[in-house]
Amino acid sequence: MDDYTIPQHWAHYSAADHAVWKTLFERQTALLPQLACREFVEGMHALPLSADAIPDFAALNEVLMPGTGWQVVAVPGLVPDEVFFNHLANRRFPSGNFIRGADQLDYLQEPDVFHDVFGHVPMLMHPVMADFIQLYGQAGLRAQRIGKLTELARVYWYTVEFGLVKEQVQGASGAEEALRIYGAGIASSFTESGFAVQSPSPHRIGFELERVMRTRYRIDDFQECYFVLDSLSDLLDLARIDFDPVYERLNSGPTYAPGEVLLSDKVFQRGDGGYARSHKPVSACVE
Ligand code: HBI
Ligand code: FE
C-alpha cells in the first residue's frame, strides 16, 4: 500500500513560509501558557521548536523518537483514512509538509505543518497521549472495515483535536479548578484557543464515551460544544476499551446535534450559543 510519505524538502521552504510559521508560533506561544494544559506547554518546550524556522522533521525526530517511539513523517496533505490509521498504528504521525499562506492565518481546510507539528506533536510527548493515538490508529483500521468510522472519528475529534481537560491552577485565592486545552485543533488556532476556554458561547460538558460517539461535529467553524476530561489519564481507559459492544449499542438510539445539552450531561458550563446563532451553519458541515 502506498503510504503517501514524501520528503519534507526543508530547504524548499521560502522566506515567506518561515515568516508565516514565525507569526503563528509567536501568537500561540504567547497565548497557550494561560490556556493550554501543563502537559502541552511542557511538550512544546521539550521539543526543538522555535519561531525562527519551520522545524526540520529530521531534527524534531531526534528528540521525539528516543522519548516516545513516535516520528513525524511528511505527507502532501489529507491522506486516505486507511493510510492515516496505518501510520498512527505504527507511531508515525503524518504531517502536511506545506504551510498556509499569509492570507489564511486563521483558517484553512487541510492540515498544514503548523497544525500538525505545533498542534499535535507537543501532546505526543505525553506517554498517555502517545499510546492513545497509536491505539486509535488500530481501532480506526477495524472501524473502517466494519463501517463504524463515523462513530469512532467523533472520539478523535472531541479528544485529540478539540479536547479540554480539568486542571488545578493557582488562582487569586488559592488552588482552583480550570479547563485547559489539549486538543490540537484548538491549540493551533489563535482565535479558537481563547474561544474554547473563555467564551460564554460554547457548552463545556464532561466527556462520556457513548454521548460523544452520538454527537456530530462542525468542521467549518468553532465548536458549539467541547468535552472535558477529568484527567488526561482517562484516555488510557478509553484506549483499552473494546469498541465492538459500544458500536453494537450505537446501532439504536439517538444522534445529537453539536449544540444539544442533555439532562444526563455533566455540564461544566452551559453555553449561551451566541456565537453559533450569529454564524449560521453552512449545510453539510456537520459529520
Ligand atoms: N490525513 N494528513 C491527514 N491528517 C488527518 O488528520 C487525517 C487524514 N486523513 C483522514 C483523517 N484525518 C480523518 O478523516 C480520520 O481521523 C477519520
Ligand atoms: Fe489534526
Question: For position 282, what pLDDT does the model report?
Answer: 59
The neighbouring-strand residues paired with 165 are: 180, 229
* Per-residue pLDDT at 171: 86
Integer-rounded Cα Rg, in Å, for the chain is 18
Identity of the residue numbered 117: V
Q: CA 173, 174, 175, 178 torsion: positive or negative?
A: positive
Average pLDDT over residues 25-30: 98
Name the nearest CA neighbour of 208 among 226, 227, 194, 189.
Answer: 227
Cα of 153 vs centre of ligand 1, distance in Å, is 9
Distance CA(66)–CA(83), nearest Å, equals 24
- Closest-lying ligand 1 atom to the alpha carbon of residue 95: 2
Q: Is it the case that residue 283 has pLDDT exceeding 80?
A: no
What cell numbers appear for 203 in the block?
457548552
Q: Which atom of ligand 1 is nearest to the CA of 83?
A: 9
Residue bearing cell 497544525: 115
Any idea where the domains of the chain sit in the sequence? 10-278
Mean pLDDT of 215-224: 93
* pLDDT score, position 115: 98
How far out from the chain centre does Cα 96 lie? 15
In the DSSP assignment, the letter for residue 8 is: -
Q: What's the predicted TM-score (pTM) here?
A: 0.96
Per-residue pLDDT tens for 235-266?
999 988 999 999 999 999 999 999 999 999 99
CA–CA dist 33, 21 (Å, integer):
19
pLDDT at 239 (0 to 100): 85
Q: How far is the CA of 160 from the centre of ligand 1 (A)?
A: 12
Give the distance (Å) from ligand 1 centre to CA of residue 154.
12
For the record, the C-alpha cell of 195 comes out as 474561544
Contact, 243 vs 250, CB < 8 A?
Answer: no
Backbone φ, ψ for residue 206 (5° rounding)? -60, 135
Mean pLDDT across the chain: 95
pLDDT tens digits for range 74-118 = 999 999 999 999 999 999 999 999 999 999 999 888 999 999 999
Number of neighbouring beta carbons within 10 Å of residue 169:
13
Pairing of strands 92-96, 71-75: parallel
Which phi and psi angles does 222 have, rounded to 5°?
-55, 145
Report the residue among 2, 72, 79, 141 best suited for mutation to probe ligand 1: largest number of ligand atoms under 8 A from its CB: 79
Three-state secondary structure call for residue 282 = coil
Rounded to whole angstroms, the Cα distance separating 122 from 287 reads 27
Closest CA to 218 of 147, 148, 270, 280: 280
Residue among 182, 190, 168, 143 nearest 23 (CA):
190
Tell me the sheet residues that pair with 179: 166
* Nearest CA, atom 15, ligand 1: 81
> What are the DSSP calls for 152-204, one per residue?
HHHHHIIIIIT-EEEEEEEETTEEEEEEEE--HHHHT-HHHHHHHHH-SSSEE
Looking at all shown ligands, the one closest to residue 114's CA atom is: 2
CATH code of the domain occupying 10-278: 1.10.800.10
